[in-house]
Structure 1
Amino acid sequence: MADTQFDSALDLLRRLSPRDTGRSLQSITTLVPDLTEDLLSSIDQPLEVRRCSKSNRDYLLCDYNRDGDSYRSPWSNEFDPPLEDGTVPSERVRKLEVAANEAFDVYRDLYYEGGIGSVYFWDLDDGFAGVVLLKKGVTPGGKSSGAWDSIHVFEATDRARMSHYRLTSTVILHLANQTDALGEMDLSGNMTRQIETDLPVESDASHIANVGRLVEDMELKMRNLLQEVYFGKAKDVVGDLRSLASLSETNQDRAAHREMINSMGKR
């Protein structure tokens, strides 16, 4: 019965707007509380922001830095609300986490020109894993709104002078605009891609460079795919369905076009 309910919940969430994933999850878990942990660990939802009281820097919340109802800050390595026995990475993996946050903070500034980024690592028996989070939103206050959330989850498995990386990337995009000519427009969706590869490792610093390269390449591919396929298709559909010109103006243009064709045929 539980498996059936879980599959039905996943099927329902896939059909609802990604912008409302958080609210939809809350409604489902209120009806079926036993699914809470499984759904929170299986569903990517728009990232929320919290301020680290110790470092006074913003960080992003997700299931990977959550322990119960508390979230760990990548800057202070402390939980909010405080936890005495919260799960934290080992000393070696924590050093890698600090270096990764510094590296991706530069990446965020160069590629996003703002926004918020957070990186979290945790230990595995044969290596380590982590998640790279990036969020950029439209400044509120105007008629346009939107947000880009990218979630890159990876595993690094140690091998002789090599490491096997498996990266799963998800982009959640929401755009809304309102104009007097076109009215309201709301476009939202998500995309997930996965790759696996082996890369050489000379030291722990190599892991940061390898993960950075994989995330950068994946984001570039997904941005191009969104722009060329999804936005291009949406533009074609909207262009066929709606026009800024009035119907009378369109009919006049068609009549002028037919008259021109007819006059050229008579010659």
Structure 2
Amino acid sequence: MAEPIDSALDLLRRLNPKDVKKNVDNIIELNPSLEEELLESVDIPLSVKRCSSTKRDFLCCDYNRDGDSWRSPWSNNFEPPIEEGITPSERIRKMEIKANEAFDVYRELYFEGGISSVYLWDMDDGFAGCVLLKKSVKGGSWDSIHVFDAQDRARTAHYKLTSTVILSLGTESEALGGLDLSGNMVRQIEQDMAVEDDGSHVANIGKMVEDMELKMRNLLQEVYFGKAKDVVGDLRSIPPLSQTNRDRQTQREMISSMSK
């Protein structure tokens, strides 16, 4: 007999990815004991909270969550406030501040809006973290989640990056009808890079995330949009059916006259 968590994940794979957040909430309501495992295993669109200290929005995920509260990267405080929440060490927090400043510039240049948040935490042989980016537009959203760990070595560091992009787009009109394009893509890479100081870590992570996002955007354009264009083109024609039939009749007549 399958374990409940395996059955839940198997069910989620068969449901519309656009509704993953609602489906996860419904499964947790049916079986609250699966909450922690589901939140750790399933990528859902990022939610947004407002930092009460800085009045800036930040993104929420399992990596800045402590119970029912989330840590703001801008103030290092939890929303809503809790006692003795888990925060990074002083060294890691300084890197976290620099990383948030860097990716805030990246967000504005590449996304021209949206929200970014970076969270770092300590590990025995280095540190780990995640870079979150979200851009919402009418009818859809782009959520990217980049989780990495950095293992310190002599003058170098070994980075392992796992990137997930959650794309949701939809449109509906009387002329075209409804179209929903939703799904996610996961890619992973490992790389050794030179390190001089903690600032090098921020630059290295920034380069890896930038390169990965570019590759994944190109793949999404090819896989999602290219395939959708081919399918729609095969299923429906833009000209009216009467015009299409006249064109076909003209084509048949030309072929018939040429054969004679």
The normalised TM-score by structure 2 is 0.97
Taking the TM superposition and a 5 Å limit, the aligned residue runs for 1:175-214 are 175-214=169-208
Mapped partners of 2:126, 2:31: distance in 1: 36
**Structure 1 unmatched runs, 5+:** 140-144
- The residue that corresponds to 1:224 in the other structure is 218
199-208 or 236-245: which moved more?
236-245
Mapped partners of 1:258, 1:217: distance in 2: 52
Could you say what secondary structure the match of 2:168 adopts? Answer: strand
Could you say what secondary structure the match of 1:178 adopts? Answer: strand
Mapped partners of 2:254, 2:111: distance in 1: 50
Residue 102 in structure 1 maps to residue 101 in structure 2: yes
**Structure 2 unmatched runs, 5+:** none
Whether contact under 8 Å (1:19, 1:46) holds in the other structure is no
Mapped partners of 2:174, 2:251: distance in 1: 29
Mapped partners of 2:42, 2:223: distance in 1: 24
Mapped partners of 1:264, 1:151: distance in 2: 60
Alpha-carbon RMSD across the aligned residues, in angstroms, is: 1.3
1:191-250 Cα offsets, whole Å, 9 max, x none, are 000011111111100001100000001000000001112210111011101122232221
> Which amino acid is the alignment partner of residue 126 of structure 2?
G
- The residue that corresponds to 1:242 in the other structure is 236
- The residue that corresponds to 1:172 in the other structure is 166
The normalised TM-score by structure 1 is 0.94
Mapped partners of 2:104, 2:48: distance in 1: 15
- The residue that corresponds to 1:55 in the other structure is 54
31-40 or 95-104: which moved more?
31-40
Could you say what secondary structure the match of 1:44 adopts? Answer: coil
1:36-57 Cα offsets, whole Å, 9 max, x none, are 1111111110011111111011
Mapped partners of 1:247, 1:214: distance in 2: 50
158-167 or 7-16: which moved more?
7-16
Residue 153 in structure 1 maps to residue 175 in structure 2: no
Equivalent of residue 253 in structure 1, options 235, 243, 247: 247
Mapped partners of 1:10, 1:224: distance in 2: 28
Mapped partners of 1:225, 1:96: distance in 2: 31
Mapped partners of 2:203, 2:94: distance in 1: 14
Could you say what secondary structure the match of 1:192 adopts? Answer: strand
Could you say what secondary structure the match of 2:141 adopts? Answer: strand
> Which amino acid is the alignment partner of residue 124 of structure 2?
D
Could you say what secondary structure the match of 2:3 adopts? Answer: helix
184-193 or 21-30: which moved more?
21-30
Could you say what secondary structure the match of 1:71 adopts? Answer: strand
Figure out how many residues of one structure are paired with residues of the other and give that number.
Answer: 260
Could you say what secondary structure the match of 1:188 adopts? Answer: strand
Mapped partners of 1:265, 1:111: distance in 2: 58
**Matched residues, percent identical?**
68
- The residue that corresponds to 1:73 in the other structure is 72
- The residue that corresponds to 1:19 in the other structure is 18
180-189 or 94-103: which moved more?
180-189
1:104-143 Cα offsets, whole Å, 9 max, x none, are 000000000101100000110100000000000114xxxx
1:81-121 Cα offsets, whole Å, 9 max, x none, are 11111000000000000000000000000000101100000
